[in-house]
Amino acid sequence: MTVFASPAPLLPEILALHGKWKGDKPALVCAGQWLSWRDFSDSLNRVANALDRHGVGQRDHVVVLMNNGIEMVQAMFGIMAAGAVSVPINLSVSDAAIAGMIEDSGASAIVVTPPQEARIEALRASLPEKVKLLVTTGTGNQDFIGWRDFLGSSSAATPAVTIEPDDLLNIIYSSGTTGLPKGIAHTHRGRRDWAYDLGIALRYHSAARTLLTIGLYSNISWVAMLTTLLAGGTLFVHESFDADHFIASVERDRITHTAMVPIQYQRLAERLRQRPDADVSSMQAMMCCGSPLHESLKQEIYQRFNGGIIELYGLTEGIITTLDPEEAEGRWASVGKPLLGTDIVILGADDRPLPAGQAGEIAARGRISMPGYYNRPEANEEACWRDELGRAWLRSGDIGRLDEQGYLYIVDRKKDMILSGGQNIYPQDIEAVLIEHSAVNDVAVIAAGSQRWGETPIALVVLEAGVEEKPDLIKAWCNQRVGKQQRLADVIVVDALPRNPNGKVLKRELRKQYAERQYS
């Protein structure tokens, strides 16, 4: 029998076909520059062929240490087209952490933007011998090949490589603010399927005009990049987030989609209160993830934007749930249900599944889960739970519960949980109360030492601009509204909370800072 169907194409082929059939349609816009789909596709092939010309072959690993911009998108997706593996690194980490990730990833090449050249130059003597190629998008120097020279006369023809579905596409490191994080590996098949399933859940389409304001090394940005590019839409990239710049772009460019974290939505909401005339009517779907979105802020965003907001709970490792805007009413604190093709379970302390209503560790399985941490067999085993059928589920390290209808509610991070007098206290429950205080702009609850209970909760709060409120009054207000075991031992007013570039509060830094505090 004649068979006409061919295997499902991987992302490099899909993007190349967009270049063929979408031609002059804008694919990428940044700082006044734009590339059509035809030019974008050609540029990826040129990067891929330039890598081959400089000795970086298929399945080699390439570190990407770059500021947001057109060249960063070209570099990461050109590496993909070459069949090599991109390793995008968080710009906020220390030089020591960068060195550790370069070595851990087994990279043979590094691509940087000019602001990052000095960091690699400082590490030059200690870089692994395997690193043979250093490229900058600038003009170049004695250490780096400049972007123009790197590309040279490289062909825009399709690279002569055969990429297999289970070949690695990229490695994204889990953190990097302290110590050496784990490299989360993703395959070509996994990333393609991830983009398909997320594209449905987040409502992407070929007319999507997506605004990216988070570092493109982040998996949050990869959500928006892959879903938009898979659908053949247009990416608008900002180097960083600014509420006024964001609003101006929505108005001018008729942005339809974005992916941001709660602190960005908070800053956006604050600015929009001062700009009631701002035209944000083009926005169709806004994704929020990284940490829980407080109910009052979520409701405010719903009221201001026609499409509402799709809250996503997820791990780069491959656990994802989403709450559809149509289902948010009456369950504002929920993060929804599992992504298409994904299943989740709540595990008790004995690793047995728990019924609805009980809190435990979230675990998941599905086709979007990572194949594993790069070169970390012990971490893979630690992250694995096997059911009665012997199937492997990915542990999240997060505490959650399911309601009777199957909607997931995040209780807290397992490592952030406070154990006070033998009782589990979840900081997020207390934070959800404190953020409703009219004087509180931002809050984090952490554990402090207690002579009586072992641990006790304390709150670090950032006050609203121009507001003065005594910490003891905030504490009393909160303690009247929480359970006896949840009562705060202290409220400390701070200027700001430490956050990573994705907006997540770095509670480990706060715990370290207040480790010497002891309460009765």
Domain-embedded: residue 19 = no
Domain-embedded: residue 194 = no
Residue 64, strand partner residues: 88, 111
| pLDDT of 429 | 80
Domain-embedded: residue 10 = no
Q: For position 457, which CATH number holds?
A: 3.30.300.30
d(CA 101, CA 128): 11
CA 288 to chain centre: 10
Asked whether the CA dihedral 238, 148, 110, 44 is positive or negative, the reply is positive
| pLDDT of 241 | 93
| pLDDT of 180 | 65
| Residue at which a domain ends, from 371, 388, 412 | 412
Domain-embedded: residue 7 = no
Q: Give SS3 for 33.
A: strand
Residues 236 and 373 in one domain: yes
Residues 235 and 150 in one domain: no
Residues 476 and 398 in one domain: no
d(CA 197, CA 341): 8
Which residues contact residue 3 at a Cβ distance below 8 angstroms, ignoring those fewer than 6 apart?
none
Domain-embedded: residue 348 = yes
Pairing of the two strands 408-413 and 440-450 = unpaired
pTM for this prediction: 0.85
Token pair for 54:
């400089």
Domain-embedded: residue 18 = no
User: What is the number of other CB atoms lying within 10 angstroms of the CB of residue 447?
Assistant: 23
Q: Give SS3 for 63.
A: strand
Say if CB 353 and CB 346 are below 8 A apart.
yes
Which DSSP string do the residues of 366-425 spell out, in sequence order? ETTS-SEETT-HHHHHHTEEE-TT--EEEEEEEEEEE-TT--EEEEEEGGG-EEETTEEE
Residues 353 and 425 in one domain: no
Q: For position 401, which CATH number holds?
A: 3.40.50.12780
| Residue at which a domain ends, from 412, 429, 458 | 412
| Residue at which a domain ends, from 388, 412, 436 | 412
* Domain count within the chain: 3
CA atoms within 13 A on the CB side of 127: 20
d(CA 283, CA 295): 20
Residue 241: name the closest of 218, 267, 209 by CA. Answer: 267
Residues 333 and 214 in one domain: yes
Residues 309 and 402 in one domain: yes
Q: How many residues appear in the chain?
A: 520
Residues 208 and 292 in one domain: yes
Say if CB 498 and CB 507 are below 8 A apart.
no
Residues 220 and 167 in one domain: no
Amino acid letter for position 210: T
Residues 401 and 429 in one domain: no
d(CA 457, CA 360): 20
Interval 429-477: pLDDT, tens = 888 889 999 999 999 999 888 877 778 899 999 999 889 899 999 999 9
Residue 273 buriedness (CB in 10 A; 0-12 / 13-18 / 19+): exposed
Domain-embedded: residue 2 = no
Residues 438 and 349 in one domain: no
Residues 373 and 481 in one domain: no
Domain-embedded: residue 169 = yes
**H helix or E strand, kind and range, residue 123:** helix 117-123
Range of the domain at 108: 37-181
Q: For position 117, which CATH number holds?
A: 3.40.50.980
Residues 424 and 377 in one domain: no
Flag residues of the chain having pLDDT under 70.
1, 175-180, 421-424, 502
